Structure 1
Amino acid sequence: MHTRHYPHTSVPPEVLHKWLSALLCALHSIYFLLNMLLIQKLDLGFIQFCAALFAGYCFYASLKKQDRPWHRYALMAILTINILLSASMMDLVAGSIFWSLALPIWYYSLFGLKKGFYFSAVVMAVSAAILFTRADTNLFMPYRTLFNFTLVYISIWLVCHIYEVQRQKISSFLHSLALQDALTGVCNRHALKTDLALIQKQFTHIHMLLIDIDRFKNINDKFGHDIGDTVLLAVANILSKTTEVKEVYRLGGEEFIVLLKDLDHQKAREEAEKIRQAVEQEIFQSHKEDIKLTVSIGISSLQPEQEFNDFLRAADEKLYQAKREGRNKVCF
């Protein structure tokens, strides 16, 4: 299936990146002044000055909607290196190492579950090594300090991981609500419009098959809506199996749509005929008696610069032609 944009259940990474850029620009500017004027760490001050400049550039780019994914990777790499470098170069009593505790939050928020896990693991290992090797035994007890730091870090890391797992589950659920038909499990009209916009960029020959179950109202009236729902589900399964494509949609009621890519007119008609015959040959079960169905199919071919509604209207006209000509037909 085509790549779709999943709905966010939290602040989008683009927004987080923008405000992280602003925050880091301010923080690095402050630490640059402290290192240059008070602590006299000129080398570290120069690094923080460069980091402040880059963070400012990232913030400006995000305001102009010109930010790129590599910006956030570079920004977090600079922040991580700066924190670890500060911890290794300065005395532990300065507390630079504690900034590493905030990194898992940003890793998971900006990069997701898998990368957040690996980045957090690397930082924990490096931070623990710095803490153990740099600990002054007069001020710290290295083993106990390392033990407590690691427990705190893992606690924050675990909370971030659990939160991201739950966020992805909720996003997946919202995606199914937004883009899937609840009854049949195939995609819905919203997904159709989204997919068509993507398909148009990749393929030149696109056909729409608009499929309507003949006399479906009679089935609901005679057997009840529960059997009608069962029939709709069975037809959706037939469409998915017969066409061997994933672009199957329920438009509403008893109408379905199949999108065909890179087929000529004759092949598109053959696919439609295959669907018509598969439904006609299927026997649908009910509590009272077996049900035989037929479908009528209208086919339209997407024209250059044609809008979605015009594309659908062309298929709808052919569908009604099939209905007028006696149903159980394919019209192109």
Structure 2
Amino acid sequence: MSTRQHPQTSVPPEALHKWLSILVCALHSVYFLLNMLLMQKIGLGAVQIIVAAFSGYCFYSSLKERYQPWQSYTLMALLTFNILASASLMEFWAGAIFWSLALPLWYYNLFGLKKGFCFSAMIVMFSAAILYLRTDTSLFMPYRTVFNFTLAYSSVWLMCHIYEVQRQKTSLFLRALALQDALTGVQNRHALKADFSAVRKKAESIHMLIIDVDHFKTINDKFGHDIGDSVLIKVANEIKQSIQGLSVYRLGGEEFVVLLKGISDIQAYEQAEVIRKTIEQATFHSHTDAITLTVSIGISSLQPGQEFTDFLRAADVKLYQAKHEGRNQIRN
């Protein structure tokens, strides 16, 4: 439903960008001095001082928490260009081409799986072409040099790709742990707050339904907590089936929440009535007995400037009213 903040399973791109920028700045400052003072490579030195200056700017921006994704793309474009230019213009024995072996690591960590793969594939082709054109000497055999470099590069590339695939799988797993209720499988309070923040920016009207299982403590006391847990799982599934396409959240205990967007007060009440009837008509089983349940539902409509806590409290007040007035009913 929304763009959420998820747990990190590796160094976040903005942190990697910050430390990469200071590393690039330091290295290119040193190479600038070497090329200008010792090698007399003025053109290459000019490129390197530009890269060093921009890297310094990126580091400063990161320190001031002004990081923007375009900075990473520009930094890596300049760094890649400098590596390939150095490999093309410097003496081959200087080994500038070996810096390209580090590029897949930075690509994958900064830009993710798909872009990391595409950028890495382009670099291996450019690097192999440079090697082939520059190794036609008595000291280097073009085909063998290109073959060995490509194997080494591909090994680094493969490990970066495997790591990123595993990182994404781990991230999805942790995301489920962080945003799903462990018992019922529906989403939890953290997910509710995140989705509320996203929905309120897009929808003109938002309603919250708080659904509470009536006399749930009696079920736990009579049948045991294992039966109580199975009842909660069944309740969650019944709610999901009655509001197909919408998310269900468990606040805790026997309380569930549904967010409705873009509908009127009457439609929100009608949706709550569908849920109430669904639970009332369902049968929940213990080991020996059939259990029937009812739910009470409180509805709140988001008011201008209302924050999540107040929105939730308003629905909770209506829920308390429904329970106080006899349960198995809806109040809005």
Could you say which residue in structure 1 is the equivalent of 2:42?
A: 42
Whole-Å separation in 1 of the counterparts to 2:227 and 2:155 = 52
- Deviating more after overlay: 237-246 vs 272-281: 237-246
The 5 Å alignment of 1:1-332 reads: 1-332=1-332
* Structure 2 stretches lacking a partner, 5+ long: none
CA deviations on 1:4-46 (whole Å, 9 max, x unpaired) are 1221112111011111111111222222222222212222121
CA deviations on 1:251-306 (whole Å, 9 max, x unpaired) are 00110001111212111111111111111122223331222211110111122222
Whole-Å separation in 1 of the counterparts to 2:93 and 2:316 = 74
User: Alpha-carbon deviation of 1:243?
Assistant: 1.8
Whole-Å separation in 1 of the counterparts to 2:317 and 2:147 = 73
User: Alpha-carbon deviation of 1:223?
Assistant: 2.8
Whole-Å separation in 2 of the counterparts to 1:43 and 1:239 = 68
- Deviating more after overlay: 240-249 vs 313-322: 240-249
- Deviating more after overlay: 95-104 vs 191-200: 191-200
Whole-Å separation in 1 of the counterparts to 2:293 and 2:277 = 10
Whole-Å separation in 2 of the counterparts to 1:17 and 1:112 = 13
Code of the residue aligned with 1:321 in structure 2: it is Q
Whole-Å separation in 2 of the counterparts to 1:117 and 1:228 = 49
* Secondary structure of the structure 2 residue equivalent to 1:231: helix
* Secondary structure of the structure 2 residue equivalent to 1:249: strand
Code of the residue aligned with 1:244 in structure 2: it is Q
Code of the residue aligned with 2:182 in structure 1: it is A
User: Alpha-carbon deviation of 1:188?
Assistant: 0.7
The number of residue pairs the alignment matches comes to 332
Code of the residue aligned with 1:88 in structure 2: it is S
- Deviating more after overlay: 147-156 vs 72-81: 147-156
User: Alpha-carbon deviation of 1:134?
Assistant: 0.8
Whole-Å separation in 2 of the counterparts to 1:231 and 1:78 = 60
Code of the residue aligned with 1:103 in structure 2: it is L
Whole-Å separation in 2 of the counterparts to 1:299 and 1:173 = 33
Whole-Å separation in 2 of the counterparts to 1:167 and 1:20 = 20
- Deviating more after overlay: 233-242 vs 295-304: 233-242
Question: Normalized against structure 2, the TM-score is what?
Answer: 0.96
Code of the residue aligned with 1:203 in structure 2: it is A
Whole-Å separation in 2 of the counterparts to 1:16 and 1:324 = 55
- Deviating more after overlay: 250-259 vs 320-329: 320-329
CA deviations on 1:68-120 (whole Å, 9 max, x unpaired) are 11110111011111111111122220100000000011011101111111111
Contact kept, 8 Å, 2:2 with 2:194, in 1: the verdict is no
* Structure 1 stretches lacking a partner, 5+ long: none
Code of the residue aligned with 2:67 in structure 1: it is D
**Identity over the aligned pairs, expressed in percent?**
67
User: Alpha-carbon deviation of 1:245?
Assistant: 3.9
Whole-Å separation in 1 of the counterparts to 2:230 and 2:92 = 68
* Secondary structure of the structure 1 residue equivalent to 2:158: helix
CA-atom RMSD in angstroms: 1.5
Whole-Å separation in 1 of the counterparts to 2:263 and 2:129 = 61
* Secondary structure of the structure 2 residue equivalent to 1:296: strand
* Secondary structure of the structure 2 residue equivalent to 1:32: helix
Code of the residue aligned with 1:172 in structure 2: it is L
